Structure 1
Amino acid sequence: MNEFLNKLQRFRFNLNLQIVLRCLILATVFFMLGIHIYYLVWLNVSAQSVVLIYLNYILRLGIIFLIIWIFYRGIKHFYRIGQTARWLDKQTEHQDDLYQNLYELYQQKEDESILKVLALQATERLKSVSYRLPKLFPADLWFLILFLLIGIGSVWSFSADTFRYAMKQFAAITPETVAYKSTIDVIPGNITLGRGQQLVIQVVEPDTRLHHRLFYRWDENWRELGLNNYSYTFPSLEYYVQNEVAKSPVYRVECLDEPFVKSWVIDYHYPAYTGLGNVRDTLSYGNIEAFKHTEVILS
């Protein structure tokens, strides 16, 4: 009888081990999916966004709940000795429920001689029949699991540095405090230019993580340019550089030989066939575009 019980315990252990493995695989898949969702959102929003903090808490709670639920369901379906005997009976063509009946008689403490005879039959049958453990997952589910694991793992490996930073933020919940340069140093500063000289405005040791913009004016209105180390030729003007964190002082450029024309006024007198009236343009800076036979007065 002891040999039969030992074999039952071995089958029970193997069946329950499969349940544990199934739970571990499913928990790993859901964990990776949760991390991947965070990573995809992290790639598409600012690292300082409050959305990432809320998403972090939601995913943490969701992943923990799912993993607990998976293992709870798995433990709930653990095989007991009687269930193991029933499972073994179903794997054979015999309809006598030998294993289950023997175990129930053993629990009821039936006569030792009867138990001995039945135990001998059961042990012989266990040795003669090959029992296959159930598959962890069906083939189509295996394909889906491997597809997800390999696909997600490939994305993480191809962007390892970025993923590492995202996971560091996921673990800390809040992003690291970023120290930006608090001042902007600009050359040439205040300057006087002679005729035909070119003005090159540059930021000294810029913080390349920030977007720098150049603001300039030669009248009352400030105008903006992206600062990309290009050269601009201006008349007398004032300028400063600004990014998301800091702003430089306002500098003035004096040009000794300014252009005579400060502004342009263009009057368009369109021909009758266009159906357009007279138009005055003061914003073109001398650029003229008109229909054929239009009378243009530049002043």
Structure 2
Amino acid sequence: MLTRKELSMSHAPSSHHTVTPIVLTIAGSDSSGGAGIQADIKAISATGSYACSVITAITAQNTQGVSSILPIPLDMVEQQLDAVFTDLNIQAVKIGMLADSDIIHLVAAKIRQYQPQYLVIDPVMVATSGDILLQQHAITTLKTELLPLADIITPNLPEAAALTGHDIPQSIDGMQAMISALRAINPHAVLLKGGHLENDSNSTDLLILASDVIELTTPRINTRNTHGTGCTLSSAIASYLAQGNTLEHATTLAKRYITAAITAADELTIGQGHGPVNHFFAGHHHVR
């Protein structure tokens, strides 16, 4: 018989690969469960990592839009960050909604303090419903303080336009015209998401690296249930990075995951507007 101590030692991590991949999401709460922290936790869990969270704001929202946003007091955001970073071995951080300049400054300072291995930023400024979530001076703070720290940022086309001052692209050529302006923000990489090009039969994202651009193309899926797609994709990238994948492979795996989650979205009947994607599509068919 093994003693309790020997038993506990037998479960001790023997190499880096047996360490639980832990992903922190720093974002707002979505009361309807389809986007924000809730989508992040679902996506991180469904892709095989452990999710922890720091909540930056509470929103009153549903599939039809955001009706109210209550920022969490700064000292409480700071205490949440210190609590998770001083105890958990966080491999990757995903950042979503940050409501104002003060919270962006704070989060940037904490990322510099704790130096997580990977940082994925979804620069959330515009909800799927079209609601503007971030003011202009906060966008400037985001660009100067936080985005240059990122391994990858994942703007959609309206967000990329807000970051660069360009018009919202209407074509792949328009997306390619933004590449140098996005590189100038100086993150390690940019995933420019083409999901808003609704006349295109494919959904093409551009993975913009320092000296290369990789096109990731999947067939466009005809569904209105796309609430939380950006949150879900960026969280999946963070999850796959935490598991030791390269940036390019993590992004490819995450694109595959979100495509499957969107494809299965119509299996759910949630709300009267833009419903959520189906985060747990893989598990739904095994359990009866």
Give the TM-score band, short-chain normalised: under 0.3
* Structure (1/2) with the larger strand percentage: 2
Q: Which has the larger radius of gyration?
A: 1
User: Quick one: higher RCO (CA 8 Å, sep 6+), 1 or 2?
Assistant: 2
Structure holding more helix per residue: 1
